[in-house]
Structure 1
Amino acid sequence: MSDDSQRPIIVKRIKKGGHGHHGGAWKIAYADFVTAMMAFFLLMWLLGSVSKGNLKGIADYFNNPFKVASQGGSGAGAAESLIQGGGRDLTQDAGQMKKGGNEETEIARDRKRLSELKRKFETMINDKAQQNTKLAQFKSQLRLDMVAEGLRIQIVDAQSRPMFKSGSSELEPYARDVLHEISQLLNDVPNAISLSGHTDAQQYAGGQSGFSNWELSAERANASRRELIAGGVANQKVLRVNGFAEEVPLDTKNIYNPVNRRISIVVLNKDAEQDIRDQAGMGDDGAASAVAPKAPTQ
């Protein structure tokens, strides 16, 4: 019989393993997050410190890069030197930032002038209506609104009171009086104006091959131009005269509605005026470059 006291005593110790090494991946991710947040707040600070003129220049660049790059201006290197925004060197104010501020001020003045002109027109119409003048009869046919190009003044036809004789560009006498009244206020602002004529969809028997609504709308717009000048508007203030025929109706549901026959006068803001000059191939100096014809060779 064996002695139990002589048996060896075996002690089992279980070693618990520690967590494995995770490395520094979380540190890199956290550093990227902090860097992104710093970049975001820096961007917000820059946007808050840039003038509205420069912001508009940046927006214009992304809308039409070729135009901004070719014309320059705010946001496209308005400074004459290669150093963007600082004039000839970084210590000078002349350059992009200064021009952007001037441009912003001019836009604000332009907007204020047109708003004041709109108020004057509304006051004139109300005063004439109380005096029971010929213009009072046209009160319901005069429409004023602000559009992208500036202040738009529309004179629309009524079934019982058309501006022109039927199928003609000859103005009725009361329509002349209305245009003369309007011309007195157009000279209060230095802005150029644009005129456009519109007809309804009633076509001529001759069709497009003969005299059509295109010719009629253009001749009516030009007849209105002549009356505005006769009323005192400077000839050089008229920048554009268009005829749209029946292509842009006021009443799209009824293209034969008399209100679609109208004359539209737009007092242009500076941006719209410059766009028209650019489309016509005119530079910032307001004059097209003339090329002298070559003398014939002998």
Structure 2
Amino acid sequence: MAGQSNAAPVIIKRKKVIQAGGHHGGAWKVAYADFVTAMMAFFLLMWLLNATTEKQRKGIADYFNPTIPVNRISGGGEDAFGGDSVFSEEVLAQSGTGASNLYPTEDRQARGQTGADAAGKAEEQALRDLEKQLLARSGESMTMERALRHVVTRITDEGLVIELHDIEGSTLFDGDTAAPNPVLRDLAQVVAETFLLVTNKVAVNGHTRAYPITLIDNPVWDLSAARAQEMRRILESAAFPAERMQRVTGFADRKPVTADPRAARNGRLEIVLLRRDR
């Protein structure tokens, strides 16, 4: 078959189709930026923890804490905006009853720091100074240094507690009686002289070691009370004012300070210089 000379040529075009994944958007960029920011903050935190002192870290923490307390009660006055400020005269917001730092009466108390707080801090410091002054007596003589082995002091919510306790081979009283040994009289003289520097009330607590339960007549109650009363008499004979004695109590063996309630260490007297609000 003969070809046609006037036939149009057939042109075949081949298109290369590229299968693309499509457009993913920019969400991954946001996530990556958040991750980088978080890592930067983490490393900054690690650096601050390593490069700052405890006091500096507390200052940084306080900077990010709110300084204005939120309270459902109103601010400085009894009525709406009745006070000069939502703050107390010195530091924190008041409870809304119109209290002030200068006149913190019982029915007009502020929640913030008041004159009572300052007085409490001053009394705490006074108790600590008195404690140091008492313990400093150990350098006066060898006799006083040996006597002060019987003394343990601590400051509690009740006040300054001066504990006089028995030691194996050296007791405050003669046997199982309320007759004081010379070491107790020496210690009582020092305590009385120290307490004369202040005007706080004083309490005396007597404690004994435990006795065998097989005893028909257990002396712990009578003995602890008698020893506490004897301590009161010794203090008063050392020129301590009797009107400052608040209470004298015997606790028997009910409050041991060692695992063995029959240990000599549990035989003790507690002389408490009470806080002024006690």
TM-score (norm 1): 0.56
Decide whether aligned partners of structure 1 residues 159 and 49 sit closer, same or farther in structure 2, where only a CA change above 3 A counts: same
Q: 1:88 aligns with which of 55, 72, 83?
A: 83
How many pairs does the alignment contain? 230
The residue number in structure 1 matching 2:161 is 152
Larger Rg over CA atoms: 2
- Describe the shift of the 1:7–1:222 C-alpha distance in structure 2 as closer, same or farther (beyond 3 A): same
Distance 2:139 2:127 in 1: 18
Instruction: Indicate the residue corresponding to 1:6 in structure 2.
Output: 10
CA 1:15 to 1:137, structure 2 compared with 1: closer, same or farther past 3 Å? Answer: closer
Q: Secondary structure at the match of 1:224?
A: helix
- Answer yes or no: is 1:162 the counterpart of 2:180: no
Structure 1 match to 2:106: none
Match of 1:44 in 2: 62
Amino acid at match of 2:264: P
Residue of 112, 119, 126 corresponding to 2:132: 119
Change (3 A) 1:109 1:76: farther
Equivalent position of 2:207 in the other structure: 198
* Deviation sequence 1:62-117 (CA, Å, 0-9, x none): xxxxxxxxxxxxx998x88569xx99341674487345153453343223222221
- Partner of residue 260 from structure 1, selected from 248, 258, 266: 266
Whole-angstrom CA distance in 2 between matches of 1:145 and 1:219: 23
CA distance in 2, matches of 1:249, 1:148: 18
Q: Deviations over 1:123-153 (max 9, x none)?
A: 33432x25x5xx5663432x13334344332
2:123 to 110, 119, 124: 110
Q: What's the offset of the Cα at 1:183?
A: 0.9
Q: CA deviation at 1:17?
A: 5.5
- Give the distance between the partners of 2:200 and 2:8, measured in 1 at CA: 120
Q: C-alpha root-mean-square deviation of aligned residues, in Å?
A: 4.6
CA distance in 1, matches of 2:183, 2:24: 96
Query: How far apart are the structure 2 equivalents of 1:20 and 1:4?
Result: 46
* Aligned residues of 2:209 and 2:263 also touching (Cα < 8 A): yes
Correspondence for 2:240 among 233, 239, 250: 233
Contact 2:192 2:235 in 1 (8 A): yes
SS at match of 2:229: helix
Q: CA deviation at 1:222?
A: 2.8
Mapped to 2, the partners of 1:202 and 1:220 lie a distance apart of 16
Equivalent in the alignment of 2:190:
181
Q: Describe the superposition over 1:127-184 as per-residue Cα deviations: whole angstroms up to 9, x where unpaired.
A: 2x25x5xx5663432x133343443322222455433343333434653453233212
How far off its partner does 1:186 sit?
0.7
SS at match of 2:113: helix
**Residue identity in the other structure for 1:6:** V
Aligned to 1:244: 251
1:241 positional shift: 3.4
Residues 9, 49 of structure 1: alpha-carbon distance in 2 compared, 3 angstrom cutoff:
closer
Specify whether residues 7 and 17 from structure 1 end up closer, same or farther in structure 2 by C-alpha distance, changes over 3 A only.
same
The alpha-carbon deviation at position 250 of structure 1 amounts to 4.0
Mapped to 1, the partners of 2:130 and 2:251 lie a distance apart of 26
Aligned to 1:6, the other structure's residue is in SS state coil
